[in-house]
Structure 1
Amino acid sequence: MAQTLDLDAMIAAAKAEPPLTIYDSTGKIVDMAANFEAKYGVKAIGQKVSANSQLEMIIRESQANNVIGDVALITDTPAALAQLLPNGFVESWMPPDLADKIPPMFRNPLAISTNANVWAYNTEVYESCPVTNLWQLTEPEWRAKVAFVDPLTKGTYTDWFNQLETHADAEIAAAYKAHFGADLDTSTESATKQWLKAFAGNAPLVTDGDDPVAEAVGAPGQAEPFFGMLSSAKFRDNADKGYKLGLCAEMTPWAGWTYTKLGLMATKTDSPSAARLFIHYILTEEGIAPQVADGKISTNSDVKIPDSEPSGLAAHLDALFPYDASTGLDDWETRQDWQDFWTINYKK
């Protein structure tokens, strides 16, 4: 049974506090802060700050007793688990009236949404996804034809590698057997490492972000477009830029994977009621709407992805490999190992 929350008292307290500043890695936070202020009459400023910069700023602000960012919406869950929470720079607060709407795996620390990276193809050239199994990407047919964000620049990618090895190595091995018709020998090296070694050695086009992947895969007028992995948010480029991105929904073993965005409060904030009110707000359908429209998935089970979301992800959530924060510290501790593994095996 849900606990109660005196929202009116929280709003009154928030109005008496200094203006609220929220850090987030998406520019949508500017609109979200403005919507929040319009709804509650609580002054709020949204600032787009990358996850890496958030980490540094939160630590420095706390150490200097000069907190600017009162709320951090951060996609680097392992870093938060390893550096921010244990050192008391931030705290996690779960709105008691919404606790029964948030699955246990997202409650401590509180995740406000999950973001998806998915495999995509060009619908102008292919009637359906040309790749149905992860292991196809290790074969000559796809050599130098797969666009992929550089794992040396995004920790979420090395986290994904570690999550696969930790929680789903058997599924990677099963996909190998389904594709090649033989068992994979995992006695000396995990199925995940063997796939990643073969994929990295097949000369993928490594990019510095999702935009170049979206262009390489989805730009119209190509005879031989790339296959690729990118944020589901980039499917908006179909409308904005005329791209032809299609979701590889039937890919084995997954169409993509998710990572979590945490909603954390600075422990030294001078606007604690406003910070809690904003956390409560973004767990509602109204609050998270600008990001859900881009394919972000609210952790509130009552909030659905709208039918207008361009990737069509809503119909294929079960095809995504989910992030498990219970082993997030291990993801943090092995990042360098996975980066080294990628570097050693990557071939241009």
Structure 2
Amino acid sequence: MRKLLVFLLIVSLFPVTVFATGTKEAAPAPSAAAAVEEVLTHDELVSRAKAEGKVVVYATTSRIAKAAESFSKLYGIEVESSNLKDFELIEKVAKEAQAKVVGADFVLAQDAGRLVGELMEPGYLYNYVPPTLKDVIPQSMQNPLQAFAINKVFIYNDEGIDKSPYYNIWQFADPKYKSLLQFKNPFQEGVNANFLTMITNEYWSKKIADAYKSYFGKDIVLTTKNAGYEWIKAIYENDLIVGTSDTTIAENVGIKGQNAKRDLPPVGLFVFSKARYATSKNLALKPAMDMEPFAGFYYSLYALMVKSAAHPYAAKLFIEYLFTEEGFAPWGSDCGTYSANPNNPIQEDIDYPFAVWKPLLVEEEGSYCFDHRAEVEEFLNQYIY
């Protein structure tokens, strides 16, 4: 993935005494000499983290609670975790920083565009890569640090079907197949808006134009800025079913008994982790992996330090822990989430390695999303509201 074109603020780590999360406590200004990141061995980091005795994390995933429990059990360090929606987390961190309120020590958050533009560029968050992992995590996932990648893919009802009938994204815009695709409202989840933003860049718009010619047998005639915008317009005008939850979409797609009544089976673009419902809820769900020019998209959960962290060593230790097999377990026990540490296993019976998925998916790039998402959302307004 192309490196995000941002300057990351690297600050020194210093002890800050607070009485409770949310109390006002201005952090001391770092000296010029303190701008160099301190490098500690794992044992030194553990010792200092234990001396702090606590760590506060804001996360956009409920599974942080399980990771916190196992981290506390291993190191004897108290964890105060909060599970927030992506926009809630971003707004909370920004407001606390502006008010000089000491809150989280680190965040585990999604929505790269807003994280980069609203929290990293102003210096509220900064990047930290554990020294023990610099030769393990792919360079493309280190800046900003991606802990996990999560994929959303085209998943269809495969009841009675041996081979996927979906091979080109323009099928969802074909007037013959109205009300075919289901997708969560991009105004309700930032990563969905980021996906639609990414397909308007030069690289993907060219591929989408080529896919149009492959499907319809003629060159695309633009009525918008490029083929990415044209596909967005076309799927909405073809009665895209806009959902409010990936769970609900998965259930609507996967209910058995639908295929005999339709030319093409129900299909949705949602998190691959819902494919587990094929077993747990007796649904028919299978990914369409041979799509032109993409089979979906992926986004990441970023582990980033807070500049005003009261417990910086414990935060660094927890970040390091998330890359271990035990730390990844709350996510790795399911399909659809992939550790940036390639040594951590996946559920091979129901999933594929991220190396298989990545070439099939649109990747999220924070700088592009931050620069262009408002434009795409303005374009979407005419179709959603």
TM-score when normalising by structure 2: 0.82
* Partner Cα separation in structure 2 for residue 109 and residue 39 of structure 1: 27
Q: Which residue in the other structure is 2:145 paired with?
A: 110
Shift of 1:315: 7.5
Query: What's the % identity of the aligned pairs?
Result: 30
Q: Which runs of 5+ in 1 are unaligned?
A: none
Q: Which residue in the other structure is 1:255 paired with?
A: 295
Deviates more, 1:97-106 or 1:201-210: 97-106
Q: Which residue in the other structure is 2:220 paired with?
A: 184
Give the conservation status (yes or no) of the 8 Å contact 1:256–1:319: no
Q: Which residue in the other structure is 2:46 paired with?
A: 11
- Given the alignment of the two structures, is residue 299 of structure 1 paired with residue 347 of structure 2, yes or no? no
Q: Which runs of 5+ in 2 are unaligned?
A: 1-38
**In the alignment, residue 259 of structure 1 is paired with which amino acid?**
Y
* Partner Cα separation in structure 1 for residue 378 and residue 65 of structure 2: 37
- Given the alignment of the two structures, is residue 57 of structure 1 paired with residue 99 of structure 2, yes or no? no
Shift of 1:5: 4.9
Which is greater in Rg?
Answer: 2
Q: Which residue in the other structure is 2:206 paired with?
A: 170
Shift of 1:321: 2.1
Give the conservation status (yes or no) of the 8 Å contact 1:203–1:346: no
Give the conservation status (yes or no) of the 8 Å contact 1:135–1:195: yes
- Given the alignment of the two structures, is residue 282 of structure 1 paired with residue 322 of structure 2, yes or no? yes
Q: Which residue in the other structure is 1:266 paired with?
A: 306
Shift of 1:18: 4.1
Helix, strand or coil at the partner of 1:165: coil
Q: Which residue in the other structure is 2:232 paired with?
A: 196
Q: How does 1:66-145 map to 2 (within 5 A)?
A: 66-145=101-180
Deviates more, 1:22-31 or 1:271-280: 22-31
* Partner Cα separation in structure 1 for residue 355 and residue 49 of structure 2: 39
**In the alignment, residue 373 of structure 2 is paired with which amino acid?**
R
Helix, strand or coil at the partner of 1:100: coil
* Partner Cα separation in structure 2 for residue 86 and residue 346 of structure 1: 31
* Partner Cα separation in structure 2 for residue 17 and residue 42 of structure 1: 8
Aligned residue pairs, count: 341
* Partner Cα separation in structure 2 for residue 219 and residue 257 of structure 1: 24
Shift of 1:319: 4.3
Give the conservation status (yes or no) of the 8 Å contact 2:58–2:84: yes
* Partner Cα separation in structure 2 for residue 315 and residue 99 of structure 1: 19
* Partner Cα separation in structure 1 for residue 342 and residue 277 of structure 2: 27
Helix, strand or coil at the partner of 1:16: helix
Helix, strand or coil at the partner of 1:88: coil
TM-score when normalising by structure 1: 0.90
